[in-house]
Amino acid sequence: MAGAIIGYCILGIVLLLIVVMVVRALLQKKPDPGKSDYSPADISADAVAEKLAGAVRIRTVTMPDNDCDGSVFYEYQRYLEETFPLVAAAAEKTLINKYAVIYAVKGSDESLLPAAVLAHQDVVPADEEGWEVDPFGGVIRDGYVYGRGSQDMKSQMIAALEGLEVLLKEGRKPRRTILFCFGHDEELRGTYGALEISKYLESKGVRLEYVIDEGGTILDGKMLGIDKKIALIGTCEKGYADFVLEVEKDGGHASAPTRRTAVGLLAEAMYKVEKKKMRPHWTKPTKEMFKALAPHMNFGFKLALANRDILSPLLKAVLCLVSPFTNCLMRTTMAPTQAEGASTPNTLPGVARGTVNCRINTGETVESTRQYIRKVVGDKVKISALEGSIDPSPVSTTDSEAYRMLEKTITEVFSGYIVAPYPFIAASDAKHYYNLTDCVYRFTPFEKTVEDANRIHGLNERQDIGMLVQGTRFFKRLYENTAF
């Protein structure tokens, strides 16, 4: 009898829990987008495409250090000033650390904090081999602008400048000062460009209303049970570290191998790093992301996310398996990327080395990641970090007028898109600006196919001209919502 009572009690508790979970899911309501007076701006596709093509033709390849000849960046800046004459005439230009630049377009209301629009002038190298066109030819064909930097990220720079140029051409003047901050070494962590711009502004006592940079993305929501596109705003970015694993053993001729070789031990260590992944965990930006998305999901996903506190272990496991994208949102990733041993195939090397690229999640550090790798590979493997390691950035607030206006702008220009914050999984210049504002955001206003996204830093990089027009409309509307 007592056993039956206990059984009924357990069943009752389970049923009550299920009811609570269902009610939680049903209470997830979509926010009211409100009314808008937005109408799309008339942007000339041919004109903006030619402006981007001209920018691509200038070979602003990242320099290895700031002592190299960077005169090409002066050429590029002259091109921008000639291409956007109204912006250039309204702006005060300041060169920072030789090649980085600030164009400050002063607003009429000095009580308003400035807005900073970021972009980087530099691009990664491009060898002509394998390209369908000259990578620096700025070829326009079939609705695309081809060339290195056409996506990363001269397209965003051109769209940002064109958006303001159009407003100035209409005879309108900004109330809020707009700072265009263009670094020249983002592809090498931005320490000569963006970091120095940030230090300069801080030395002048500047505080910013917000920062907008590349980084957020537009996704198909189907992977998360949403029938619409998702526009993600990066509120932070992961840390970065390259760890070198090194094994020393007696070398010699491969015809008489030792019991354990340097390459064998290194391979074992690299396998362990790849196999024994760091634990996933909920960070502030991932919680905010799924909270924003949950009301728009189908009932199954909504039920799971509304009850994240109850289903947390299961949810973390599922999200780590669904796709590489959701996996890297949840944990620090460690990817073996390089290995080297002997220079000839019949030699046992005395030293074998491998590199592990780590993208470090919020709440962890370069040092905690190093300690984890040490625990995984053991004491026989030396571990050192290459130059350029950096901890994760702070997390920007989503409870600000700047974030709300950015969200409003996206929903106006990209009709029907769902907006949510998220942790940006790569790197940008924006990480250097947290000393100036709590509102550092990353959003790239171009929808991309998977194929085109894979062209970034690769062969046949290209920018869809229709999306370039839409990106220009985005920046024009962002300025109207926040600076005019």
Q: Any idea where the domains of the chain sit in the sequence?
A: 45-215+426-482, 236-385
| pLDDT at residue 319, rounded to an integer | 87
Core vs surface per residue 402-436: b (16+ CB within 10 A) or e: bbebbbbbbbbbbeebbbbbbbbbebbbbbbbbeb
In three-state secondary structure terms, 358 is strand
% pLDDT > 70, the chain: 94
Asked if the model's pLDDT at residue 15 lies above 70, the reply is: no
Any idea which of 30-39, 85-94, 303-312, 317-326 has the lowest mean pLDDT? Answer: 30-39
Which of 91-95, 102-106, 327-331, 400-404 is predicted least confidently? Answer: 327-331
- Match domain 45-215+426-482 to its CATH number in 3.30.310.10, 3.90.920.20, 3.40.630.10, 3.30.920.30: 3.40.630.10
Catalytic residue status for 213: no
Q: How far apart are CA 420 and CA 362, in angstroms?
A: 17
C-alpha distances out from residue 432 to 102, 119, 183, 388, 421, Å: 15, 13, 11, 13, 19
Q: Indicate the pLDDT class of residue 60, thresholds 50, 70 and 90.
A: very high
Give residue 14's pLDDT: 62
Residue pair 148/134 in contact by the 8 Å Cβ criterion = no
pLDDT of residue 142: 96
Q: Looking at residue 13, what is its pLDDT?
A: 67
Q: What is the pLDDT of residues 336-386, one digit of tens each?
A: 999 999 889 999 899 999 999 999 999 999 999 999 999 999 998 999 999
Percent of the chain at pLDDT exceeding 90: 76
Q: What is the pLDDT of residues 30-57, one digit of tens each?
A: 777 667 788 898 999 999 999 999 999 9
Q: How confident is the model at residue 19 (pLDDT cuts 50, 70, 90)?
A: low
DSSP state of 134: -
Residue 351: per-residue pLDDT: 93
Instruction: Report CA-CA distances (Å) from 84 to 6, 196, 262.
Output: 77, 25, 58
Identify the residue whose tokens are 């970065």: 240
Q: Could you give the CA distance from residue 180 to residue 116 in angstroms, rounded to a whole number?
A: 6
Q: Which of 454, 438, 356 is nearest to 395 (CA)?
A: 438
pLDDT at 254 over 90: no
Single pTM value for the model? 0.91
pLDDT one-digit tens code per residue, 391-433: 999 999 999 999 999 999 999 999 889 999 999 988 999 999 9
- Residue 222's pLDDT band, with cuts at 50, 70 and 90, is confident
pLDDT in the model for residue 178: 98
Selected catalytic residue, list 165, 186, 364, 429: 186
- The pLDDT-based confidence of 24 (bands split at 50, 70, 90) is low
Cα 250 to Cα 220: distance, rounded to the nearest angstrom:
53
- What average pLDDT does the structure give for the chain? 92
Q: Is residue 111 exposed (0-12), middle (13-18) or buried (19+ Cβ within 10 Å)?
A: exposed
Distance in angstroms between the alpha carbons of the first and the last residue of the chain: 75
pLDDT of residue 335: 95
**Rounded Cα distance, 103 and 50, in Å:** 22
110 in active site: no
- For helices 262-275 and 366-377, give the axis angle rounded to 10 degrees: 120
Tell me: pLDDT of 7 over 70. Answer: no
Give me the CATH code for the 236-385 domain, please. 3.30.70.360
> Rg of the chain over CA atoms, in angstroms?
25
Per-residue pLDDT, 181: 98
Which carries the bigger pLDDT value, residue 19 or residue 155? 155
| Weakest-pLDDT range from 303-312, 324-333, 460-469 | 303-312
3-state secondary structure of 92: strand
Q: Cα–Cα distances in Å, from 442 out to 118, 213, 396?
A: 9, 5, 10
Q: Does position 246 have pLDDT exceeding 90, yes or no? A: yes
How many whole angstroms separate alpha carbon 197 and alpha carbon 118?
Answer: 11
Q: Please tell me which residue in 122, 187, 209, 461 is annotated as part of the active site.
A: 122
Residue 118 reports pLDDT greater than 70:
yes
Q: Specify the DSSP element, H or E, that contains 476.
A: helix 465-482
User: Closest Cα partner for 234 from 220, 209, 214?
Assistant: 214
Residue that wins the pLDDT comparison between 256 and 40: 40
Q: What pLDDT shows up at residue 56?
A: 98
Residue 2 has pLDDT above 80, yes or no: no
Residue 161: per-residue pLDDT = 98
